[in-house]
Amino acid sequence: MNELSVIGFVFCVIVIVVAVIICKKALNDE
């Protein structure tokens, strides 16, 4: 894997983690 692939993979993981955190916070607020 080249650097671009690693950056893209890390970016996708961060986006997924942030989305999960936002969903959990939204559920906790209700």
**So what's the pLDDT on residue 14?**
99
pLDDT at 30: 74
Low-confidence residues in the chain, pLDDT < 70: 1
The predicted structure's pLDDT at residue 2:
87
What local confidence, expressed as pLDDT, does residue 29 receive?
80
CA-to-CA dists, residue 27 to 6, 14, 23, angstroms: 32, 20, 6
Count CA atoms closer than 13 A to 16's CA, side-chain side: 6
Amino acid at 4: L
- The pTM assigned to this predicted structure is 0.66
Query: How many separate domains does the chain show?
Result: 1
Q: Range of 24's domain?
A: 1-29
